[in-house]
Structure 1
Amino acid sequence: MDSVTIAGVDCGTNSIRLMIAEVDAHGLHVVTPRILRIIRLGEGVDKNRRFSDDALQRAYAAVREFAEVLSRQHVDSLRFVATSATRDAANRNEFEDAVESILGVRPEVIPGSEEAALSFLGATATLHSKQNQSQNQSQTPPQAHMRDHAPYLVVDLGGGSTELVVGGDGDAVPEYQVRAGFSMNVGSVRMTERHLLADPPTEAQIEEATADIDEHIDEAFTRIPAQDVSTIIGVSGTVTTMSAIAMGCQSYDRHAVDGARITFDDVLKADDRVLRMSRKERGTVGAIHPGRIDVVGGGALIWTRVLTRVASAAATQGRHIDSFLASEHGLLDGIVLDRGRKMLADNI
């Protein structure tokens, strides 16, 4: 068996995504471009520890749509992964049973550590592929990759949690191997529902949210070597949305954003501006998906704090970080690659 076709579903707190791709020795090749639906499955979960009926119905509608897409494709394996909100919901069995009845597979509710590792795999495998392609073609690498070197930090900023994963230095630990990871229980939906309740949020609410985020980052930094980081790769809807705004995109352009290098100066200004906007004002910003309007400010604040704190930690070791790479590749790519590689290995 030289290749396998894998369908992957990434079901998060705010969105659900489907991608179908062929996996072979050279990596991942997309068959059906990723489909994104904003379902807000985690609405109220931080407070109530349960999925609401409305949230479940939104999720089931998306899953039925995915089932229709899958009925028209041949796939060797389907993997459905659920993350932060599902980990926290007391009635998750109801959700899992319904998904299994629609798709024929039961959701894997993975721990934050596995989510972090899969996000790192998806983000760095794509980076590795692009760098190899540039070298094989004997061309100067794109500017977005000219200063990229290990150790990499992949940040997957979701609706309910944010994963921070550091890879190796290329010496003691291979640069594309996870060295340490940590999942923080902070995300765009969670911070908005917990702190940023006014429209627009008040200064006091922003300060409370910042303190909450920093407390989680403090804990994360006891688990990951943030001071060793050389390159930051940001994935997820919040990161790519804020990247598009920082780049001045009038509407969201995934091709422009994917692989772009964004300076801290540009994105921190964009983060602060969006955080302090009313929801009505955010609705006029073409790069923001309508399903993110109410929570993207919370995500922007998390992104600001993560970038600021990592840069400060790296500076203690003489490392200067003033930009990051935006990536459209993360957990979903990792889900598909991981399953595909395991299937190929089992058939060798």
Structure 2
Amino acid sequence: MTNCKRYKVAAIDLGTVSSRLVLAQVEGGAIVESSKHTEITDLGEGVDTTGRFCKAAVERVLAACRMFVDEARAFGAVCVCTTCTSAARDASNAALLLDGLRELGLKPQVIPGEVEARLTFFGVAHDFAGERIIVADSGGGSTELATGVYAPECSVFALEGTRSLDIGCRRVTERFFSALPPADGELSAAAAWSGEQFAAYFEGLPSDFEHAERLVAVGGTVTTLVALVHELEPYDSSFVHLCELSLEQVSAAIERMSVLDAEGIATLPGVQPKRAGVILAGAVVIRELMRAGGYKTLTVSENSLLAGMAATINETLDGTTPTIGWTPSLNAL
């Protein structure tokens, strides 16, 4: 790429459990330097049951975004992109959130699951250039899956099997667990429901589909599982990034948490208290994904949709066609 400039950009992603900000310096379609800020805002509270946002959840998200806007301005970002994912797709009163974001000067985009999967794959694949991988982003309301190869040196970006499934830690918790620890049969029911959907995904792939040897997972569930398994206090992102988790480790973590209430889970080393109520269900989702795909290990990435957004913003500012085929709405602060 010629005439590349370096830009300071901001990207905000509002998920079912977490609201996240990345401040990045980008150049040539890649992140040169970045910092992240995550707030657990639980936007999806009650959405699976009611189909609506509750006012308190929206207020938590807007409070986080006020902080994010201040941080982006202090950073000197030339623009910001704001995306909303699973919970906003599901909520019949999503305007409550979207109007509040516009009042903060943001231009929110509710993106479909396939765009979410492509952004995440793009953000993750920079670390696995030329390698065929399947990327799984397991969030609060959905899990996005995408298999493909990214080889920037020869301008290859090929994706297959891109899909968004309505399986996530918040959704599974609300749908199957009456309390924590789960009652008899609830854990196995959650596992069976998740496993059936993942199995249907893999079984429904074309017969000539080339299975990816490496499963790469992103999101708060898998990063928390690494912190739990290795008792990381404080959290160490450099240790977590590209760390491997085995099926046995995930299963052991589920067994450990399955006899505890939320307060007990919150005391475990590496678990954020605000994530304690949904991490057990999240771990079940990850285990069933691994089982359905036949993966004994997975690789955890600290990169995610935010990294893909930052790189895509860079391409847009440079006036090039975005690699993933989606153009973000940008606004100055």
Measure how far apart 1:161 and its partner are: 0.4
Q: Which residue of 2 aligns with 1:83?
A: 85
How do 1:88-99 and structure 2 match up within 5 A?
88-99=90-101
Residue type of the alignment partner of 1:238: T
Q: Which residue of 2 aligns with 1:17?
A: 20
2:11 to 8, 14, 21: 8
Task: Give me the whole-angstrom Cα distance separating, in 1, the residues matched to 2:40 and 2:150.
Answer: 37
**Residue 256 (1) aligns with residue 226 (2):** no
TM-aligned CA distance change 1:83 to 1:343, over 3 Å: same
Query: Contact between 2:257 and 2:280, CA under 8 Å: does it hold in 1?
Result: yes
Measure how far apart 1:46 and its partner are: 0.5
Q: Which residue of 2 aligns with 1:341?
A: 315
TM-aligned CA distance change 1:26 to 1:42, over 3 Å: closer
Q: Which residue of 2 aligns with 1:61?
A: 63
Residue type of the alignment partner of 1:34: K
Task: Give me the whole-angstrom Cα distance separating, in 2, the residues matched to 1:201 and 1:68.
Answer: 41
Query: Contact between 1:258 and 1:327, CA under 8 Å: does it hold in 2?
Result: yes
Q: Which residue of 1 aligns with 2:329?
A: none
Q: Which residue of 2 aligns with 1:214?
A: 195
Question: Could you say what secondary structure the match of 1:61 adopts?
Answer: helix
Measure how far apart 1:41 and its partner are: 0.5
Task: Return the TM-score normalized by structure 1.
Answer: 0.84
Question: Could you say what secondary structure the match of 2:161 adopts?
Answer: strand
Task: Give me the whole-angstrom Cα distance separating, in 2, the residues matched to 1:331 and 1:272.
Answer: 30
Q: Which residue of 1 aligns with 2:300?
A: 326
Q: Which residue of 1 aligns with 2:135?
A: 154
Q: CA RMSD in A?
A: 2.2
TM-aligned CA distance change 1:227 to 1:303, over 3 Å: farther
* CA displacement, residues 56-79 of structure 1 (integer Å, 9 cap, x when unaligned): 111111111112112213222210
How do 1:171-320 and structure 2 match up within 5 A?
176-222=157-203, 224=205, 228-311=211-294
Query: Contact between 2:7 and 2:314, CA under 8 Å: does it hold in 1?
Result: yes
Q: Which moved more, 1:155-164 or 1:275-284?
A: 275-284
Query: Contact between 1:43 and 1:189, CA under 8 Å: does it hold in 2?
Result: yes
Question: Could you say what secondary structure the match of 1:177 adopts?
Answer: strand
Question: Could you say what secondary structure the match of 1:72 adopts?
Answer: helix
Residue type of the alignment partner of 1:257: V
Question: Could you say what secondary structure the match of 1:228 adopts?
Answer: coil
Query: Contact between 2:169 and 2:285, CA under 8 Å: does it hold in 1?
Result: yes
* CA displacement, residues 122-167 of structure 1 (integer Å, 9 cap, x when unaligned): 1112444xxxxxxxxxxxxxxxxxxxx8320111010000111111
Task: Give me the whole-angstrom Cα distance separating, in 2, the residues matched to 1:208 and 1:288.
Answer: 24
Question: Which stretches in structure 1 are left out of the alignment for 5+ residues?
Answer: 129-148, 312-320
What is the count of residue pairs matched by the alignment? 314
* CA displacement, residues 152-201 of structure 1 (integer Å, 9 cap, x when unaligned): 0111010000111111498xx98753222111101000000110122200
Residue type of the alignment partner of 1:163: E
Query: Contact between 1:152 and 1:232, CA under 8 Å: does it hold in 2?
Result: yes
Measure how far apart 1:300 and its partner are: 0.5
TM-aligned CA distance change 1:175 to 1:266, over 3 Å: farther
1:28 to 28, 31, 35: 31
Q: Which residue of 1 aligns with 2:108?
A: 107
